[in-house]
A and B are shown apart, each in its own frame.
Chain A
Amino acid sequence: MTDYLRVDDIEKYYGNGSNVTKAIDRVSFRVEKGEFVGVMGASGSGKTTLLNLLATIDQVTAGHIYYETTDITELSEEALSEFRKTSLGFVFQEYNLLDTLTIEENILLALTLQGGGKKKIEKECADMMKLLKLEEVRDKFPYQVSGGQKQRCACARALVHHPKLLLADEPTGALDSRSAQTLLETFSGLNKSMGATILMVTHDAFSASYCSRILFLKDGKIFYELLRGEKKRGRFLQEILDVLSLTGGELSDAD
């Protein structure tokens, strides 16, 4: 298999002089195409910092991040914007849908920013809404739909332009358990049916059990890696919980 995403010895420091905090400390890993990778860690372990570095919205202090052959640490600001537009998709805990746009328009906007003809945009939008079962609420505003529907809309918006990588930051954090499960099944489905590569940051073991591989972060370093392989999800969940018990289970999203 070829490396789809390659993280090479990256470091991220905050502060200066004697007051330096190492948020990410010499982290390296690879993600293959079509993988569904989870990142877990305690509060302050650096998982959101890592996500921001991969998302190109923060810059590394040292090291390189390659998307296929492109080293994003070498790109200019404008090139990074273009890269984000074409290659990345984002899903946030707080949905971050634009409140003045309807559900359908939120998805449309992602496509119009890419450019393209009206017919192509409409078709892709309709396909995505169908895939994520959003047709019934297409004309509703975000405040008029449920949290699960909002998050599905955020997924649709993130995936509609077929990005290289979908970055999800605690996507189930604001959802009830039923909606969370539906969303995670959607992620799994998209991962399998569309071959979407997903990197999800979560502190929730249940959510993480849907991933094919999990990276555990501690003090800015990867201290453990767990592969699901052919295991059932229940078993994988148990393994995750076992790893967490080693860290004291103090996971939260405060970093």
Chain B
Amino acid sequence: MLTKLSFRNMKRSLRDYLIYVLTMTVVTALMYAFNSLIFQNGLTGYYELEGLMEIMIGLATFFIVLIVAWLINYMVRFMLEKRSTEFGIYLLLGMKKKAIARLYMRENMLLGGVAHLAGMVLGVFLQQVLTAVMYSMVRMEYHLNISFHPGTIGMTALCYGGCYFLALLRSKRRFRKMNIQGLMNYRRQNEEIKEKHEEARRILLPAALVFLLLFWTWFGRLSSTGETVVFLIGLVLTIYLFYVGISAWIICYVRRRGRGIYQGQNLFLLRQFASKIRTMQFTMGTLTSLFTLALMGASIALMFSEYENTMLERKFPFDMQLFSDDITADFAREKKLAEESVQIKEWYQYHIYTDRDNQVNTWMLTNLDCWGTMYQREDGEPDEEKIRQMLENENIYYLYDTYMGLSDYNYLRAMLGYGQVSLSEDEYLVQVKERLAGEVEGIGEKLQIKGAPGKYAAQEGTSQKSAGQEGTTELLRCGGILSDPFSQDGHNGADLIVVVPDEVLERMEPYYTELVAQFMGEPAPDLQVRMEQLNRQDGRFLTDDYFGGLCCGSDNIIVFAELCLVRDNLIPQVKYMLAALIVPLFYMGLVFVCVAVTVLSVQLLSDSAKYRFRYDVLGKLGLGREQLGHLIQKQLAAWYLCPALLAVLISGKMILFASERFVLMTGVPVPKGAFFLKSILLFLGIYLVYFAVTDITFKRNIEQKQVS
């Protein structure tokens, strides 16, 4: 009998909480699809960082299990509360608490089981989509392959079961504590609106807004751990106390009989909203946190995604490029290795030169945004000592400035399909990374680069003269700044290289040697690895602090410090590495938003059933069907927008700050607000789906009553 009852109750819950069941189905499908990346991604054996994806998905799963467990726990409590009278009647009829608990748990397990099974089926299809996306990300061809891996199924079931275990753990205690009187009065207690100390509570709203203003003003300037911790605590308090404040503020406004309440349905809307927020204030805070985390996660994922889409090809313009700090290097072994792997179209070996000066480096360290005032004295002049220490100890800029001859430069440009450039004998040009092009416009005014030995200025006034070692030498003038992709993560200079007429190189010395190659086809997938093995054989073990003499430039966040770059090997590797970050972030973002919107929807739909009479009354007070429809939409919009807007306000500052740094450090060519906007649009889609479903169901619930 009890089995039949629990099955019937489950069917009823399935109908009443369809949104929750659908969310659990989607969550299972997401779990299945993402878990499949651990067990059956088909990319095993191709990547150096193979375990990374598994670790990251595992980490994301941990947080997802916690959040989904919270959702289940919330829903179990919520349903228990809604059905308290029913359980009271069971007790009255003589059922034991244990039996009721078992009945309720069984219902929940059945409900979860239905969602899980449906989710698994959906997950198989979602897995195909996700795998296809992954393959296209790492440039591999994907063929539809529907297969079941016991690992994927097992892990999904385990995660799902884990969520239920965590969620139901505490619910049993709730049953132990309940009594008939308590259950019968449970719903009534909840309906009571307690308004106390509203005037005092009201202050929390302006306080929260002031904190948010401070947060926007000061976030980028936080320098110490102490300050950060204080701000984080303030932020958490703001998130939770904002709702206490806004509800008290509305209550006070209504009590003061503010002008707005006398217009149309505003009085009803304001009171409804304040009352709902008051009873849900803690949950609303949690939902805001979930939205904030989801927006931040998605924005970060979008940043890296944008990077791999726009920057990777530019990072590796040559098919292969090798570095050696030995100026006599002939790269014979490397050439042989490459020739075994792929047909070579063209080799080109050249030197990077130096004049053993560091005026270019000094200018960069004191003028680029990314360095700020770090290498300036208080009077704004360069801090020579700090600069020296930096150049000696960090592998960012070479100890001395780097130069390239015009003929080498033009040869390389031709290899890359760029147009040729020409320089007069008193000119130099600056080849810089694209992201720094705007920042180095003034570099020509400061640099004093000497011309070729013994050359004199051809035209008075267009050049400067200074005393050189070999008599009076012409100072070159800047003939232009170019920013075509040119492999400037340490190979063709670090961030920047100065290109001078070949004669000028006569007074310089070779600094290091470079070899570039263009291939006729695609190299073997392991060429990069074999080149690195060669380096290791030579005792050149690259570590976090030692890059084999290579200095990688000021790029941050994603840094390429490799003595050997094989483009077609590296791009999939980097994409795989980035995917290991992007995929779990989207995964978490999707689940967090789905969970949060489900809670919002379930609350509203439950109200639409419980408080139908409110709309019935409004109908009898003369609100037409259309007006009621608008009223419900306004109510839903306020309810949905409130936590989302607060999350946008909070995450906005952090995302904009992070985007600004990301664009600055990586050179991704997009406006800093683009990631934030895109992540909002992404979640807006999910939001709108839930909003539309809730709106339709809400109105249907109310109309059902009117018909009946």
**Interface residues, chain A, with chain B CB atoms under 8 Å away:** 55, 57, 77-78, 80-86, 88, 90, 94, 96-101, 105, 108-110, 112-118, 121-122, 139, 141, 143, 157
- Given A81-B625, A82-B622, A96-B617: A109 in contact with B262 (beta carbons within 8 A): no
- Distance in angstroms from A165 CB to nearest chain B CB is 13
Whose C-beta in chain A lies nearest to the C-beta of B261? A112
Contact status B268-A90, CB under 8 Å: no
- Given A117-B262, A118-B262, A121-B262: A98 in contact with B623 (beta carbons within 8 A): no
- Given A101-B271, A118-B259, A122-B257: A112 in contact with B264 (beta carbons within 8 A): yes
**B626 at the A interface (CB under 8 A):** yes
| Interface residues on chain B, number (Cβ under 8 Å) | 36
Q: Chain B binding site: helix, strand, loop or mixed by DSSP?
A: helix
- Distance in angstroms from B639 CB to nearest chain A CB is 14
**B266 at the A interface (CB under 8 A):** yes
Q: In the bound complex, how far is the Cα of B407 from the Cα of A13, in angstroms? A: 99
**Interface residues, chain B, with chain A CB atoms under 8 Å away:** 188, 191-193, 254-255, 257, 259, 261-268, 271-272, 274-275, 611, 613-614, 616-627, 706
Q: In the bound complex, how far is the Cα of B611 from the Cα of A21, in angstroms? A: 31
Q: Closest 4 CB pairs between A and B?
A: A85-B622, A81-B624, A100-B275, A100-B271
Contact status A113-B193, CB under 8 Å: no
Give the one of B263, B614, B623, B624 with max A CB within 10 A.
B624
Number of A-B contacts (CB under 8 A): 91
- Given A112-B267, A118-B262, A143-B192: A85 in contact with B621 (beta carbons within 8 A): yes
Partner of A57, one of B255, B613, B620: B620
- Distance in angstroms from B252 CB to nearest chain A CB is 13
Q: 24 A-B Cβ contacts within 8 A?
A: A78-B626, A80-B624, A81-B625, A82-B624, A88-B620, A96-B613, A97-B617, A98-B614, A99-B193, A99-B611, A99-B614, A100-B193, A100-B272, A100-B274, A100-B275, A105-B254, A109-B621, A112-B262, A113-B264, A113-B618, A121-B262, A141-B193, A143-B191, A157-B621
Whose C-beta in chain B lies nearest to the C-beta of A143? B192
Contact status B619-A109, CB under 8 Å: no
- Distance in angstroms from A105 CB to nearest chain B CB is 6
Give every chain B residue within 8 A of A108 (Cβ-Cβ). 261-262, 267
Give every chain B residue within 8 A of A77 (Cβ-Cβ). 624-625
Q: In the bound complex, how far is the Cα of B263 from the Cα of A96, in angstroms? A: 22
Contact status B613-A113, CB under 8 Å: no
Give every chain A residue within 8 A of B706 (Cβ-Cβ). 57
Give every chain B residue within 8 A of A113 (Cβ-Cβ). 264-265, 618, 621-623
Give every chain A residue within 8 A of B188 (Cβ-Cβ). 143
- Distance in angstroms from B270 CB to nearest chain A CB is 9
Partner of B271, one of A105, A116, A143, A157: A105
Q: In the bound complex, how far is the Cα of B622 from the Cα of A115, in angstroms? A: 12
- Distance in angstroms from A255 CB to nearest chain B CB is 15
- Distance in angstroms from A186 CB to nearest chain B CB is 20
Q: In the bound complex, how far is the Cα of B194 from the Cα of A99, in angstroms? A: 12
- Distance in angstroms from A139 CB to nearest chain B CB is 8
- Distance in angstroms from A254 CB to nearest chain B CB is 15
Contact status A105-B624, CB under 8 Å: no
- Distance in angstroms from A27 CB to nearest chain B CB is 22
Whose C-beta in chain A lies nearest to the C-beta of B275? A100
Q: In the bound complex, how far is the Cα of B271 from the Cα of A30, in angstroms? A: 41
Q: In the bound complex, how far is the Cα of B137 from the Cα of A118, in angstroms? A: 63
Give every chain A residue within 8 A of B614 (Cβ-Cβ). 98-99
Q: In the bound complex, how far is the Cα of B267 from the Cα of A115, in angstroms? A: 12
Taking A101-B271, A112-B265, A157-B621 as known contacts, 11 extra A-B pairs with beta carbons closer than 8 A to each other, sorted by chain A number, are A84-B621, A88-B620, A97-B617, A99-B611, A99-B614, A105-B271, A110-B621, A112-B262, A112-B267, A113-B264, A118-B259
- Given A100-B272, A100-B275: A109 in contact with B620 (beta carbons within 8 A): no
Contact status B271-A81, CB under 8 Å: no
Give every chain A residue within 8 A of B620 (Cβ-Cβ). 55, 57, 84, 88, 90
Give every chain B residue within 8 A of A88 (Cβ-Cβ). 620
Give the one of B193, B254, B275, B625 with max A CB within 10 A.
B193
